[in-house]
Amino acid sequence: AAGVIQSPRHLIKEKRETATLKCYPIPRHDTVYWYQQGPGQDPQFLISFYEKMQSDKGSIPDRFSAQQFSDYHSELNMSSLELGDSALYFCASSSGGLNEKLFFGSGTQLSVL
Amino acid sequence: ILNVEQSPQSLHVQEGDSTNFTCSFPSSNFYALHWYRWETAKSPEALFVMTLNGDEKKKGRISATLNTKEGYSYLYIKGSQPEDSATYLCAFLYNNNDMRFGAGTRLTVKP
């Protein structure tokens, strides 16, 4: 069965550079969530989208932006990268509804040098 | 304010101990409560989705209860094993598609 696909798997950037992470949800899933987990830290909810509109926002820095496209894939854009942005970034998708659980991708490991 | 709070933040137990942790959420606009298990460097895995007050779900040694009127859910692990070490996240679905996650409880089971 198709799963949530994230690309790239690994990304190395330098300070002040920009990065774009992509998330392709499971087919027919219209809801996408982004999550960040720094080394040794608790996971932090960043932002979510439903039907191409932002539906909830967590602790996402102003340097970050995200959107969901017409094919429901989502991109997380990060600018002016800082060392503290080094983390594992997960996205998850859901088909919505009360009983629908989230399916998570394998994550993108971002290292800012 | 939509706060989902989990306690304790971290927990260290010995192998064989039973343990439980709490997820607190707003009791209004409740749609569903999710529990996820997140091992380091792996994708979070869904444990339970609960929607009804009084729901009790069980998966092996792990079970969960739900009280929507008072806004809490308990996750229980019976006879903890080292492989249970992970962060346990709860997530509160407060509209049909708006979900707020707790910060998680980090469980460490020592052999």
What's the pLDDT score for residue B97? 66
- A58 contacts B100? CB cut-off 8 A: yes
Sheet of B56-59, strands arranged across: B5-7, B19-24, B72-77, B62-67, B56-59
Distance to chain B for A99, nearest Cα, Å: 6
- A96 contacts B45? CB cut-off 8 A: no
What's the pLDDT score for residue B71? 94
Alpha-carbon distances, residue A80 vs A43, A57, A64, B2, B109 (angstroms): 22, 20, 9, 30, 39
The chain-wide mean pLDDT, for chain B, equals 91
- B101 contacts A45? CB cut-off 8 A: yes
- Say how far apart CA A64 and CA A39 lie, in whole Å: 19
What's the pLDDT score for residue A93? 93
The residue ranges of chain A whose pLDDT is under 50 are: none
Distance to chain B for A15, nearest Cα, Å: 23
B38 is written with which tokens? Answer: 């997140």
Using the Cβ of A107 and the Cβ atoms of chain B, whether some distance falls under 8 Å is answered with yes
Query: Which is more confidently placed, B40 or B85?
Result: B85
Residue B36 in this model has a pLDDT that exceeds 90: yes
What's the pLDDT score for residue B35? 96
Distance to chain B for A90, nearest Cα, Å: 8
| Model pLDDT for residues B44-85, shown as the tens digit of each residue | 899 999 999 999 999 999 999 999 999 999 999 999 999 999
Using the Cβ of A97 and the Cβ atoms of chain B, whether some distance falls under 8 Å is answered with yes
Alpha-carbon distances, residue A91 vs A79, B24, B47, B52, B77 (angstroms): 19, 24, 17, 27, 27
- B89 contacts A102? CB cut-off 8 A: no
Which of B43, B51, B97 is closest, CB to CB, to A104? B43
**Under DSSP, is residue A85 helix (H, G, I), strand (E, B) or coil?**
helix
Q: How many residues does chain A have?
A: 113
Beta strand A108-112 with A31-37 is unpaired
